[in-house]
Structure 1
Amino acid sequence: MNQRRETLALAGIILICITSIGSVYLIFTGNPAPAPEVSVRGGYVLDQTTDQTVIRAMALSIQLNLSAHAGGLLNNHQVLITNINTHRVTFSSNVSYSIVYSNGSSNILRLETQLPNASITMDTSDASPLNFYVFGDSQGYQGSIQDIVTTANHLHPDMLFHCGDITPFGQEKQYQRFDDATGNLSVPLFLTAGNHDIKLNGGQRYQSRYGPSTYSFDFGGAHFTIFNSSAGDVSESILQWLEDDLSTAVAEHKFVFTHIPPFDPRPGGNHTLLNTTTATRLMNIFESESVNVVFAGHIHMFNVSTPSTVTYVITGGAGATLYETAEKGGIYHYVNVTVSGPQVRIEPVALEEPSFARDQVVIRGRNEDLTLTIDDLMQLPTIEGFSSFQNQLENWHGQGVYKGVKISDLLALVGGMTTENTLRVTANDGYQQEFCYDNVYPNESWYQLQGDMILAYSYNGTTVPDWSTGLRLAMLPEDGQYSNGDCLQTSAPGMGCDIYLSAGARWVRYTQIIEVVP
């Protein structure tokens, strides 16, 4: 729930205005006291002030205890609980309270007590059969997320699970766009972080919004375990926690959710945990503790495999570029899971293929990729400079100031490139140019001729889509002139000006795909 709180202190009176979806509540209290101490099971305290405690539900049942500081009271203190289905939850407490706000996924409880301590319990009613959706790797594409939200609000599954890679690279605005897309969701959504979510300090932003990415809970005769594998490995502390959590679970069914799977089901595939010892240990834990299904993302496809007694489901098709053909599981989808008695039914549900706008670019690395919008590009380190280029007739064109992101910085988001790799840049009309390692990471002599190689999103102050030929590849030499001679000296054999003498031909207009190829 988006909300704005304004506080005005006058003569010992505090006026608190809470504005949310057109509703305003006014609550008057006495002089401010320290925020109460809070302990919570099944939730995470996202924020706390003197007058309000904000909790994100991380289970379908919550036990909350609040204690006022010495001499203080809890009267009029508010508890905002998010990520719940308000139509199916019930509350009980040792003190009186009133629900002053409800929007389908959040409730605000106002305590009405002269006591210094309060206990609140929240439970969600069971439904039969148990039903939940699982998906992953939306990577900033909100179209699929909005479609899943619309379906969930209509069909009312018990909950949703996102297996990570919510964002392209973990920035505040990227998380906010996801929150906006899920803002009207009326069922709980449980998350874990993916490797893209923790890039550029994104892990801290993840936790401040959603709480820890390793947790578990019981519901409807099943145990749900979510754990963090976003770093490409799993820490010893999490491995120990997994063993303890799964060994003590007594539910009939055990479901596990993470981002990176312990193995790649594709023949010869290696898009999996970096530490093979950890991967083997995980699979042994899952088997010894009788886990029914492990759900993971990371590999952009749908796949179900059962190498032992445990079923592994790859569901990485919520928006990121697919890794396989449709025949091999390369489909945009989410997974609909229904549990009825001992039976578990797993069904992929097709999503529409993402539409590609001219203000987006796909960055493909050797083992991962992501799609970036103009807004995403603007959050990366920016470089700006005057430049121009010669065409095949040696006429000068393109004079102006270009602003964008270094190609090397973009590749760093997907694992970089080596001297053995080639960089291929493709326009939306299929036009292509290829570049070598030294174009992306120029040495001193190449840098003097070529300068930084950038993906420009702005030209003379005009930004895509208003800039009609962007996104565009550009070179920023120090003298502001990328001549045909410069191009020839900075083209590897069989590339660029070595086969067609035009510096301008290297400046790919309408850039759509930047990819590292062997």
Structure 2
Amino acid sequence: MGDTQRFYDETEQFVASVNRQRNIDFVFVAGDISDFGLAREFRWVHERLQQLQVPYLTVVGNHDLVGNGRAIYQTAYGPLNYTFRYGGTKFICLDTNGREYSFGARVPDVPWLQQQLQDTTGSRHTVVISHVPPTDEDFDPALVPSYTAALRGCPRLVFHLSGHVHRFSAGKPFHDGVTYLTTYSLAKHRYHIISLWGQRQFRLETVTYGPDA
């Protein structure tokens, strides 16, 4: 799921819903944990998400970089670009908030991404997760060609997942075989359960939650 900013009641309802699910390995928050990059916003969201019965991980969103948000985020969650392997899948998580850096062809770090995509040791699948998708105007337009080319060149890539747009979408917008997904904000009272198997197969289930669900 993505974009918890200001949606504190919805976050509590989300946690209650996830805790009723079976066989969830972890939760991923696709950025915009905060609205104004304030420490208390990060704290309020964490106080709710720590009630999850499984771990949660994050990528940084554009709102998380406002003011002192970058330093607060890094203190709370660590590097803005990082990877981990779990269950035979390599997850590549990176900062794609180009507008927050006045564009300038620096963010996302495409050479770092290329290096991570090439390192497939011990992995059957690869998943890339960011906040701003490369189809959005807040993604640095100068880096769209090299970014999408890097993804296109990874034979083990299952999909690219983002938040930011507050709605669900699924497609291959660059007509290159790469699947791009975006997920709901918590304001929409929906989230996705994604299962991976085989070579590049995945199943996406949409869950509706809340007091009236």
Corresponding position of 1:147: 13
Given the superposition, is the C-alpha separation of residues 148 and 332 from structure 1 closer, same or farther in structure 2, using an over 3 Å criterion?
Answer: closer
| 2:119 aligned partner, one-letter code | T
CA deviations on 1:376-421 (whole Å, 9 max, x unpaired) are xxxxxxxxxxxxxxxxxxxxxxxxxxxxxxxxxxxxxxxxxxxxxx
Superposition map of 1:152-301 within 5 A: 152-155=18-21, 156-232=23-99, 233=103, 235=106, 238-250=109-121, 251-264=123-136, 271-273=137-139, 275-290=140-155, 291-301=157-167
Report the identity percentage: 27
Q: Please report the TM-score for the alignment, with normalisation by the length of structure 2.
A: 0.86
Counterpart-to-counterpart distance in 1, 2:52 and 2:30: 17
Shift of 1:186: 2.2
Structure in which a larger fraction of residues adopt strand: 1
Shift of 1:332: 3.8
Given the superposition, is the C-alpha separation of residues 169 and 289 from structure 1 closer, same or farther in structure 2, using an over 3 Å criterion?
Answer: same
Shift of 1:236: 6.3
Shift of 1:237: 7.9
Structure 2 gaps, min length 5: none
Counterpart-to-counterpart distance in 2, 1:249 and 1:204: 31
Shift of 1:347: 2.2
Structure in which a larger fraction of residues adopt helix: 2
Counterpart-to-counterpart distance in 2, 1:210 and 1:239: 22
Higher relative contact order (CA 8 A, sep 6+): 2
Shift of 1:172: 1.1
Given the superposition, is the C-alpha separation of residues 146 and 165 from structure 1 closer, same or farther in structure 2, using an over 3 Å criterion?
Answer: same
Report the RMSD for the aligned CA atoms in angstroms.
2.1
CA deviations on 1:206-234 (whole Å, 9 max, x unpaired) are 11111112111111121111001234356
What's the secondary structure of 1:245's corresponding residue? helix
Counterpart-to-counterpart distance in 1, 2:88 and 2:205: 20
What's the secondary structure of 2:191's corresponding residue? strand
Answer whether contact 1:158 1:187 (CA < 8 A) is retained.
Answer: yes
| 2:20 aligned partner, one-letter code | H
Structure 1 gaps, min length 5: 1-134, 265-270, 320-330, 354-518
Shift of 1:302: 0.7
Given the superposition, is the C-alpha separation of residues 204 and 306 from structure 1 closer, same or farther in structure 2, using an over 3 Å criterion?
Answer: same
Counterpart-to-counterpart distance in 2, 1:304 and 1:199: 29
Q: Please report the TM-score for the alignment, with normalisation by the length of structure 1.
A: 0.37
Match among 192, 198, 212 for residue 335 of structure 1: 192
Given the superposition, is the C-alpha separation of residues 230 and 292 from structure 1 closer, same or farther in structure 2, using an over 3 Å criterion?
Answer: same
| 2:149 aligned partner, one-letter code | N
Shift of 1:195: 0.7
Given the superposition, is the C-alpha separation of residues 279 and 351 from structure 1 closer, same or farther in structure 2, using an over 3 Å criterion?
Answer: farther
Answer whether contact 1:165 1:195 (CA < 8 A) is retained.
Answer: yes
Corresponding position of 2:203: 345
Shift of 1:350: 2.3
Counterpart-to-counterpart distance in 1, 2:16 and 2:149: 38
Superposition map of 1:342-381 within 5 A: 342=199, 343-352=201-210
What's the secondary structure of 2:166's corresponding residue? coil
Answer whether contact 1:301 1:332 (CA < 8 A) is retained.
Answer: no
Answer whether contact 2:14 2:210 (CA < 8 A) is retained.
Answer: no
CA deviations on 1:63-110 (whole Å, 9 max, x unpaired) are xxxxxxxxxxxxxxxxxxxxxxxxxxxxxxxxxxxxxxxxxxxxxxxx
Kindly name which structure, 1 or 2, has the bigger radius of gyration based on alpha carbons: 1
| 1:235 aligned partner, one-letter code | R
Given the superposition, is the C-alpha separation of residues 240 and 337 from structure 1 closer, same or farther in structure 2, using an over 3 Å criterion?
Answer: same
Answer whether contact 2:170 2:181 (CA < 8 A) is retained.
Answer: yes
What's the secondary structure of 1:174's corresponding residue? helix
Answer whether contact 1:300 1:315 (CA < 8 A) is retained.
Answer: yes
